[in-house]
Structure 1
Amino acid sequence: MFDIKSFFKREVEKKLMDVDDYIFMPERLEMELDGGSLNCVLNSDGRVDIFYTKQGVTEVSSAPRKHPFTSFETELHHGIYDDVIDDLVKEVSKIIDSSSKYFRRNKILSSAPSLPSRPLS
């Protein structure tokens, strides 16, 4: 037999949990993490942007809002976005630890000759 009450209850819960239907108050939380700066931004459309900067290297990632009825700060404290933050920290560390075979800090690049300032006739 079909239970109409549970069907309507499920549909109402589905509508309430759809993050796309909400407008959020933008929030921003900043903190120091592993020698770098972590910025977590909740946008009004429910998108969460996470920025991690260390030694001049910045990596950015976005995630959808997970729980519309929970405060953004509470979500962060419960580790909802920890996987995204871990990936950002790893990427920045990987970039910082790598080095170029072409550009070195102790190597001075020769400058190219300058072009003449007056037109050739």
Structure 2
Amino acid sequence: MFDIKALLKREVEKKLIDVDDYIFMPERIEMALEGGKLNCVLNSDGRVDIFYTKQGVTEVSSAARKHPYTPFEKELSHGIYDDIIRDLLKAVNKVLDGKSKYFHHRVVPIRTPQLPTSTVIKEDSSF
């Protein structure tokens, strides 16, 4: 037999749980993790952006909100996004552990020319 009530109930639940229909209060949670800085950002459209920075190297990943009715901090504390964070840590550490095939010596950044210390610039106060 065909159960119309169950079918309608599933359709209503599906519409209620659709994250695209909600606007979330943006949240940011920061913490130090394994010598770097982890930022987890909940955007107003329900997308979660996770940033990990260590020694000047930054890696970013995004995920869809997994449990829209659960507070964002509780999702993080229960490890919902731990797989994404683990992948970010691996990617940053891989970059930091890597060696260049072409740059064997330290690369010196280009500096802008500075005025010699003996040069004095006088201001014209007649304006």
TM-score, with structure 2 as normaliser: 0.81
Partners of 1:71 and 1:98 lie apart in 2 by 38
Q: Cα distance, 1:33 vs. partner?
A: 0.5
Letter in 2 for 1:52: Y
Q: 1:107/1:35 Cα in 2 relative to 1: closer, same or farther (>3 Å)?
A: closer
Letter in 1 for 2:11: E
User: Counterpart in 1 of 2:53?
Assistant: 53
In structure 2, the partner of 1:82 is: 82
Structure-1 residue corresponding to 2:94: 94
Q: Which runs of 4+ in 1 moved over 4 A?
A: 105-108
The alpha-carbon distance between structure 1 residues 86 and 13, as it changes in their structure 2 partners (threshold 3 A), is same
**Which residue number corresponds to residue 62 of structure 2?**
62
Give me the CA root mean square deviation.
1.6
SS at structure 2 position matched to 1:85: helix
Q: What stretches of structure 2 of length at least 5 have no aligned partner?
A: 109-127
Deviations 1:39-93 (A, max 9, x none): 0000000000000000000000000000110000000011110110000000000
Q: In the aligned structure 2, how far is the partner of 1:62 from the partner of 1:84?
A: 8
Deviation of the 1:5 alpha carbon: 1.0
Count of residues in Structure 1 that have an aligned counterpart in Structure 2: 109
Q: Which runs of 5+ in 1 are unaligned?
A: 109-121
Secondary structure class of the residue paired with 2:39 = strand
Please report the TM-score for the alignment, with normalisation by the length of structure 1.
Answer: 0.85
| CA-to-aligned-CA distance 1:13-56 (integer Å, 9 cap, x gap) | 10111100100000000000111000000000000000000000
Counterpart of 1:18 in structure 2 is 18
Identity %: 75
